């Protein structure tokens, strides 16, 4: 979105459709349709009852009446879920033409308004992890008029945010969002000038669960499972048969060996296997980034160091080494100590190593201009 603001065409990729939806909702295209968005929200909710599938996941959180209104709102958004070719304005000239992966920004905006509004109503469902919502003992009912009022208020606030981001005297560049896997980037070889990414850190954060409430609005429990098993760094063990690979570099393999030999319970039976998945995904993603970068193209990868007990994972340096093994020029361009790391809150983490220091690294990569 920043590059679009600065007049540079860009493509955003995310495997989680919830995050892809929020990202697409910030496109300047939304401003050209704001009157239609307001009209849709004002006129849609009253008297409508969408069709619920058996065991619709929305029913875990809301009553039949409210769930039907939510589903009606989603089903009747008058904008296509995927962007038409002519609306891309050339930003995807270098993309493999699977336009079903592209999220229409106005459709995404309406959906994001619903996400934000329902989160407000669902705040009482928060569990011990502040980003997760627990399933309630009793489903909530939202009165129709209150629902519509809240949707309109949320829409106005979000429209103001988008308008504030894009200067009126400077046209924004085309900006497209694709829901896809960075291990299989749907772009042609040597087609991208710059890459900026911040992949999941080695923290085993379950991003799918943290967005499971919004994923339920897509209408299928299988989507949560798919995102959990597909997201890099997810804390689930897949059925893949993996082992350490020499091409991952010495830093990665030394760290993995330290985890595998650690006396902690489940160090090798679970944690080592989970970390193997992470570095396998990291390897594939770097292969794809290398492939789509133009000769002379460059990028920044923002990552953070972490620990397994007392074994330090110097993730920024690991990315540098793995990138260099793929023929890229790479270095840590900027490093900053992380002082407010969540691990400092967990007093048990100091049992294995006191005074742990965490770093956020900006890893610079560049593809050689000539083979």
Torsion of CA 128, 133, 134, 139, to 10 degrees: 140
Q: Please say if the pLDDT value at position 262 is more than 60.
A: yes
**pLDDT > 70 fraction of the chain, expressed in percent and rounded:** 81
pLDDT level of residue 251 (50, 70, 90 thresholds): very high
Residues above pLDDT 90, as percent of the chain: 46
| Structural Rg of the chain based on CA atoms | 22
Q: Is residue 133 within 8 Å of 1, Cβ to Cβ?
A: no
Q: What is the pLDDT of residues 359-371, one digit of tens each?
A: 999 999 999 997 6
CA–CA dist 85, 254 (Å, integer): 47
What residue ranges do the domains of the chain occupy?
2-179, 193-366
pLDDT for residue 344: 44
For residues 340 and 265, give the distance between their C-alpha atoms in angstroms, rounded to a whole number: 28
Name residue, tokens 């891309």: 88
As given in the structure block, the two tokens for residue 60 are 């875990």
Q: Helix 105-121 crosses helix 64-75 at what angle (to 10 degrees)?
A: 160
Backbone φ and ψ for 101, nearest 5 degrees, come out as: -85, -15
DSSP, collapsed to helix, strand or coil, labels residue 300 as strand
3 state SS of 358? strand
pLDDT of 353 reads: 63
Indicate if the pLDDT at residue 130 is higher than 50.
no
Chain-centre distance for alpha carbon 5: 21
For residue 83, pLDDT over 80 is answered with no
Helix axes 250-260, 272-292, angle to 10 degrees: 160
Give the residue among 24, 13, 9, 223 at the shortest CA–CA distance from 107: 24
Compute how many other C-beta atoms are within 10 angstroms of the C-beta atom of residue 239: 5
Contact (CB, 8 A) for 315 and 305? yes
- Dihedral over Cα of 161, 165, 166, 169: its sign: positive
Please list, in sequence order, all residues whose beta carbon lies within 8 angstroms of the beta carbon of residue 174, skipping any fewer than 6 positions away.
4, 9, 88, 89, 90, 91
DSSP assignment of 295-337: EEEEEEEEEE-EEETTEEE-HHHHHHHHHHHTT-EEEEEEEEE
Helix (H/G/I), strand (E/B), else coil: 299: strand
CA angle 27, 29, 31 (to 5 degrees): 100
| Geometric angle at alpha carbon 114, from 58 and 40, rounded to 5° | 120
pLDDT of residue 123: 58
Closest to 95 in 3D by CA, of 11, 14, 175, 21: 11
Is-contact 201 33, C-beta < 8 A?
Answer: no
DSSP 134: P
Exposure on the CB side of residue 273, measured as CA atoms within 13 A: 11
- What's the helix, strand, coil split of the chain in %, to 5? 45, 15, 35
User: d(Cα 70, Cα 46) in Å, to the nearest integer?
Assistant: 11
**Strand runs (DSSP E) across 140-291, as ranges?**
175-179, 192-197
Average predicted confidence (pLDDT) for the chain: 84
pLDDT value at 132 more than 80: no
Could you tell me which residue, 125 or 105, shows the higher pLDDT? 105
Residue 214 vs residue 257, higher pLDDT? 257
Q: Looking at the predicted structure, is the pLDDT value of residue 113 above 80?
A: yes
State pLDDT tens for residues 319-351. 999 999 999 999 999 999 998 655 544 445 455
């Amino acid at each position: 979105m920043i590059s679009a603001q600065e007049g540079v065409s860009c493509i955003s990729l995310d495997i989680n459709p919830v995050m892809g939806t929020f990202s697409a909702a910030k496109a300047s295209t939304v401003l050209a349709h704001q009157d239609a968005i307001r009209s849709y929200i004002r006129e849609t909710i009253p008297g409508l009852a969408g069709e619920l599938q058996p065991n619709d996941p929305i029913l875990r959180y809301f009553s039949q009446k409210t769930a039907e209104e939510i589903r009606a709102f989603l089903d009747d958004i008058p904008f296509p879920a995927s962007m038409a070719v002519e609306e891309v304005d050339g930003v995807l000239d270098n993309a493999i033409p699977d336009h079903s992966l592209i999220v229409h920004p106005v459709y995404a905006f309406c959906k994001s308004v619903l996400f934000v509004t329902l989160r407000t109503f669902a705040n009482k469902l928060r569990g011990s992890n502040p980003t997760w919502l627990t399933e309630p003992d009793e489903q909530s009912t939202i009165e129709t008029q209150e629902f519509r009022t809240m949707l309109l208020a949320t829409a106005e606030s979000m429209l103001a945010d988008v308008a504030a981001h894009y200067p009126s005297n400077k046209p924004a560049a085309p900006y497209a969002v694709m829901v896809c896997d960075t291990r299989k980037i749907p772009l042609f070889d040597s087609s991208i000038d710059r890459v900026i990414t911040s992949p999941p850190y080695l923290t085993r954060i379950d991003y799918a669960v943290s967005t499971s409430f919004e994923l339920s609005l897509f209408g299928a429990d299988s989507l949560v499972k798919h995102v959990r098993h597909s997201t890099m760094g997810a804390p689930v063990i897949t059925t893949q048969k993996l082992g350490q690979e020499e091409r991952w570099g010495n830093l990665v393999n030394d760290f993995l060996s330290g985890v595998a030999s650690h006396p902690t319970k489940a160090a090798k039976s679970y944690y080592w296997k989970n970390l193997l998945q992470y570095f396998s995904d990291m390897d594939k993603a770097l292969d794809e980034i290398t492939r789509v970068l133009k000769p002379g193209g460059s990028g920044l990868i923002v990552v953070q160091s972490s620990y397994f007990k007392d074994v330090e994972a110097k993730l920024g340096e690991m990315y540098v080494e793995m990138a260099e093994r793929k023929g890229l020029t790479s270095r840590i361009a900027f490093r900053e100590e992380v002082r407010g790391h969540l691990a400092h809150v967990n007093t048990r983490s100091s049992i294995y190593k006191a005074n742990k220091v965490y770093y956020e690294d900006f890893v610079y990569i560049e593809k050689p201009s000539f083979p």
